[in-house]
Every structure is written in structure tokens, then in C-alpha cells.
Chain A
Amino acid sequence: MLKTYQYPKYPFVRPAELDHPDETRHVPVVVVGAGPVGMCAALDLAQKGKPVLLLDDDDTVSIGSRGVCYAKRALEILDRLGVGERIVQKGVSWNVGRTFFRNDEVFSFNLVPEPDHHRPGMVNLQQYYLEEYLVDACRATPGLEMRWKNKVIAVTPSDAHVALRVETPAGAYSLTCDWLIVADGARSPIRHMLGLDIEGKIFMDRFLIADVVMKADFPAERWFWFDPPFHPGQSVLLHKQADNVWRIDFQLGWDADPELEKQPERVIPRIKAMLGDDREFELEWVSVYTFQCRRMNRFNHGRVLFVGDAAHQVSPFGARGANSGIQDTDNLIWKLNLVLEGKAPATLLDTYSEERCYAADENIMNSTRSTDFITPKGNASKTLRKAVLTLARQHPFARKLVNSGRLSVPSFYVGSSLNTPDRDAFNGRMVPGAPMDDAPVTTPDGTPSWLLNHVGNRFQLLYYTEDASTIDAATVATLTRWAIAPVPIEPLVIATRGTAPDNLATLQDSKGRVRERYDLSPGSVYLLRPDQHVAARWRALDPDAIDAALARATYRDRWTD
């Protein structure tokens, strides 16, 4: 099988440590696992100028059928890391999903219901491409050292550091680090070594996941069938990926025999029944999966920080696995960076666990609900689902209840201890804790751009005025007063017209969408986090309030020593 993709093989390089067994090298940060999540963590930190050592026990990218759908928010983070465009170019962008019950389409949805967003709701791309592009970016990033065939076999955390033992084809060596980022996947050997629990439930169902190559004229949409005539009583999902590869998921039921169901002579007739007999296709990859939803009870354990599948797992119906893992790193890295620079207390990392456990719970809840709807257990659930699906043809309310997977969207950290609660009244959804909405803007030289391309990686003050050229000297002085603060804040002026004086960064709100989405009036100010989430907002510039909000968003108001 497998005809469309050539797996790269990355070279093992004999680590210098093997020649100095009596010295133990110390590095600030080690990331274990070069899956999508570990690589995003390493890239983000290295791009902030910190040396990173990334260890992986393998020497290639993800094998076979895994992640397919990368959501708008993950793409925005990948844009910040400089990898988004390549993924969008190679991938298949889509926004529309269609749901069928038996022979009929019952409804369709659009993931981006409003216009004027840079990235689509989803891009479909085989996980190996995502990883290959991330490897390329990691290798091109100074200060990021990647080591293939380096397997972590022992981890000993202490108050002072974390000690590691690493096994390679040329022998084993020891290392110490200040912080260990654990991105070693769902089975997480390191979680086991440290005896840490992960709790949740396994779904009593099996799914046949087939990647097939065919030249088909289906549109680039997500198609989901409940109880289709070609696979009665079960569900089926169809997705288009790059290189004319299509992903098909067949629900099989708990009693199916995974080994038997993987055999081509079982798989091919299923696909033929679905596509009609005359369509040509070839199998690229086939596996049978069961899924579970579970998470660790906290993600930071002293100097050991868990991200991605190592920390939490979901069923794939919401495409929330890699997408949420990438958001973990988005949340973690700016905090770790402040801690490494001695600009925030280490307890700031508790808020990584707080915010991302909240997000994981949301993901697990949504994924569990989708799985319950797709694979109802018990007669009452089955009857209710049938009621929803039969009413859905006629009635809009029932269409909203049809749950074939609520696709990955970012969490609003509304309860976060980093937020400064609103003092002034605002409409809309950009509340403290919200992930920023994108919007079209124009740079002062007239180039069309997107708001999210101008924010991130540092704290920023978004300041709105109608005509930027009328900003007075006192306002400039206030907006720039954090330029040389220990944790700097950069101003970003949003204006309907004009350019701000004194080289203040200005963006024009070409279509009025920023004002609309952020409910801006002249003088409105947003304090933005380095991960493009809202920390605080006011109707007027108030330096004391900004000081307090920054201290709160960095835990600098909680230094104890």
C-alpha cells in the first residue's frame, strides 16, 4: 500500500555527550517527542531566542492514517510560527460540512459563518505533511537542536533540575535541564515513568479508518452519514486530503474483529458499496481504532510540563487532538519564556495547567457528546437521535442538535486568573480570556493584511482612534511608556484613517471589521497577551489600570521572594 508519500528519513548523529561520559551537560529546556505538538513547542521557544534540545526516539514523521483536519485557530498559531502558509497551500481548505441520514441530506453547516477571516475553518492535510513542514522549520531555526533516535529512558525530577537518561543507537548518555516539556504522545512513557495518572473513559466502539487514492469529483466538503444504505446501522465519514487521497471512517461496532476488518478483501467491498462499483480507487492505508477521552489532573508537575496527547486525549470526531495540543504550546511557551528570563514567577506555569485543563475539559466534553450521538448506546438514546434526525429535515432547531462532531474551536478562558474583569461596558465576544478574532486591515503603505499577522509573541496595547494622525503627544507618551519596561508592551494603533505620529505601528481598519468585532469606540484599549488572547480592555487609556492588568497577566503581582 501507500503510493503517494515518500517518508523522509532523518539522520542519527552521534551525540557529543557519548565521548564525555564523566561530564553531564546541562541545558535550559528539553522537549521530548517530535510530533506536531513537541515541534510547535520547540519552534516557538527557539524563535523567542532560547536554546532548545528536541529529542525523538524515531527518525521519520507520523506513519499511516492519523490527523487530517487542522482548524482555523491552529492555523493561526502555525502562521505565527511561520509554517501556516505551507500547510494551507498543500492542504485542502474547506468550510462546508454535509450530514446525511439514510438516503437524504438533512442539513449542512459552514464553519466560518461570517466573511473576512484570513484562514478557513479547516484545512485537510495528512499528518505526515504537517510534521515534515514542522521538521523543516525546526531545522532552519538557530538554537533548536533536533536529535533523532534519541530515546528518553529515565527521568528524575528534583527541585533544582530534571535529570534524563537518553538511549541512542551509539550508546546512552545523561543530561540535566531546568524544564522538561513532555510531548511523547498518548502512551507517554514519561508519564508512566513518573507514575502519574490519566483518567477518563474508552468508547466501546471500533472504527475502520481507510485512506484511499482516487480521482473523484466530490467537492472539498466533510460528508457524514448516519445509517447510510451502504453501511446500515452505522456511521460513515468522508474527507478529502491532499494528493487525491480520501479519508473514509466506517463505524464497525464493538464486536468487530480488528485484524479481520483490516484485510483488503473486507475493506474493498465496503468502499465499493459506498462509491458505487465503477469508481476506481486504491487503498493507501487501513487501520482499526478504538478511541478514548481522558486527561491528567494537572499538566505541570514541578519542572515537568506535559503537552498534547501525553496530557489529554479525545476521540477524533471533533479533530481536537493535534489542534488542541498546538494550542497547549501556544499557551505554555510565552509563560515559560517569561519564567526563563526571570520576569515572572514560576507559579505562572500553574496558569498553563489551569487554562489548558479547562480547554481539555471542553474538548473532552464536546468529543464525548459527539461520540454519544454518533454511537448511541441504549434504546432511549437511539430513539432520541432518530427523533432529532427525522425532525432535522423540516426544523432548524433540530438541525442544530445533530452532532456529527463539533469541530475544533478555541476555548474562551473566561474564568482565568490572568484576566482583568471588565470595568467598562463592551458588546461582542472579545471578552477577557477570548482568543482574538481576525479581521482584514491595511498597512499605512496601502498593503492589505490581517490583524492577527500583527499581534502575538509579546504583550501589546491595541488602541483605537478614528484618525491616527490626530493622536496627541500625551497619548503617544502614554502608549509608549512600557517600551523599556521589564515586560514591555508594544502599542498598535487601529484607525479608520491616517497614520500615527512618532512611528507608532498603525493599521487601518479597512472594512470596519476590527471596530465591529472588538466593539471599539475612539479611545478604546485592549491589552493583548503574547498568545493572541485578550487580557483586559477599557474605554479609555488608564496607565495604572494597564500596569495592574499586566502584573496580573504575568503573575508579577504574585512574586513572593
Chain B
Amino acid sequence: MSLNTQPNFHNPDKRYFYDYAPGDDFYAMLIEAHRDLSDEHSALLNARLVLLLANHIGDLRILEEAITAAKADL
């Protein structure tokens, strides 16, 4: 396994007819989560999300790849 950077958003409970739609659902969910938060709380929300998702992935080799990809030309 290596870091998957192909489009991968999906929802087994929902039938999608257009390829951009599941990603847009995710993005809208994320923006909604930030609505009305102060900058400090938004940053904290992002950090907590990273931790939750990182634990879910678990495999440190993938997490290391992700950190490298995120840091590239920052």
C-alpha cells in the first residue's frame, strides 16, 4: 500500500451520477464544519481532524508519505 492520491471519495449509501459529486459533498461538509468558528478554533479543528484521520489510517509508512506530499513546495 502507498498513499492514494487518486479521487477516492465515495458513499456506499448514495448513488452518484457525476464524478465530482462525492468530493464536492466532502468539501461542503468540511466548509460547513468551519462555519462561524474563530480562526483559532478553525486551526484547532483542522489539527484534531488530522489526528483522527491519521489514527484511522494507522500505517506510519503512508502517513510519512502524506506528510512529505503536504510539505512539498509549501
B-contacting residues of A (Cβ < 8 Å)?
A: 366, 369, 372-373, 378-381, 384, 388, 390-391, 394-398, 400-401, 403, 406, 409, 412, 414, 429, 431, 434
In the complex, what residues of B have CB within 8 A of residue A369's CB? 24, 27-28
Cα of A212 to Cα of B68 in the assembled complex, Å: 45
Question: Is the beta-carbon distance between A403 and B42 smaller than 8 angstroms?
Answer: no
Cβ of B5 under 8 Å from chain A: yes
Question: Complex formed: what's the CA distance from A414 to B16 in Å?
Answer: 11
Question: Chain A binding site: helix, strand, loop or mixed by DSSP?
Answer: helix
- Taking CB atoms and an 8 Å cut-off, the chain B residues in 26-64 that contact chain A are 27-28, 30-31, 34-35, 37, 39, 42, 45-46
The one of A391, A397, A403 that contacts B24, using a Cβ cutoff of 8 Å: A403
Structural contact, A395 and B5, CB atoms closer than 8 A = yes
Q: How far is the CB of B8 from chain A (nearest CB, A)?
A: 6
Q: Tell me if B's interface is mostly helix, strand, loop or mixed.
A: loop
- Are A400 and B23 interface neighbours, CB within 8 A? yes
B72 and A414 form a contact (CB under 8 A): no
| Contacting pair B20 A406 (CB below 8 A) | yes
Are B7 and A396 in contact, CB atoms less than 8 angstroms apart?
Answer: yes
Residues of A within 8 A of B37 (CB): 380
Contacts of B11 in A (CB 8 A): none
Decide: B23 and A396 in contact? CB cutoff 8 A: no
Residues of A within 8 A of B35 (CB): 378
The CA of A366 and the CA of B17, in the complex, are separated in Å by 14
| B19 engages A409 (CB within 8 Å) | no
> At the interface, yes or no: B6 with Cβ under 8 Å from chain A?
yes
Residue of A372, A390, A429 touching B17 (CB-CB under 8 A):
A429
User: What size tier do the contact residues of chain B reach?
Assistant: 20 to 34
In the complex, A414 Cα to B18 Cα: how many Å?
Answer: 14
Which residues of chain B are within 8 angstroms of A403 by Cβ–Cβ distance?
Answer: 20, 24, 27
Verify A380–B19 contact, CB threshold 8 A.
Answer: no
Q: Tell me how far the C-beta of B38 lies from the nearest C-beta in chain A, rounded to whole angstroms.
A: 9
Nearest CB in chain A to that of B36: its residue: A378
Chain A: minimal CB distance from B37 (Å): 7
* Cα distance, A381 to B30, chains bound together (Å): 9
Contact B15 A380 (CB under 8 A): no
Q: Are B7 and A394 in contact (CB under 8 A)?
A: no
Q: Could you tell me the distance in whole angstroms from the C-beta of A12 to the nearest C-beta in chain B?
A: 45
- Complex partner residue of B31 from A381, A400, A406, CB under 8 angstroms: A381
Once the chains are docked, how many angstroms separate the CA of A80 from the CA of B5? Answer: 42
- Give the CA-CA distance A397 to B5 in the complex, in Å: 5
* B73 part of interface (Cβ distance < 8 Å): yes
Contact A400 B72 (CB under 8 A): no
Docked Cα-Cα span, A470 to B62, in Å, equals: 59
Closest to B41 in A: A380
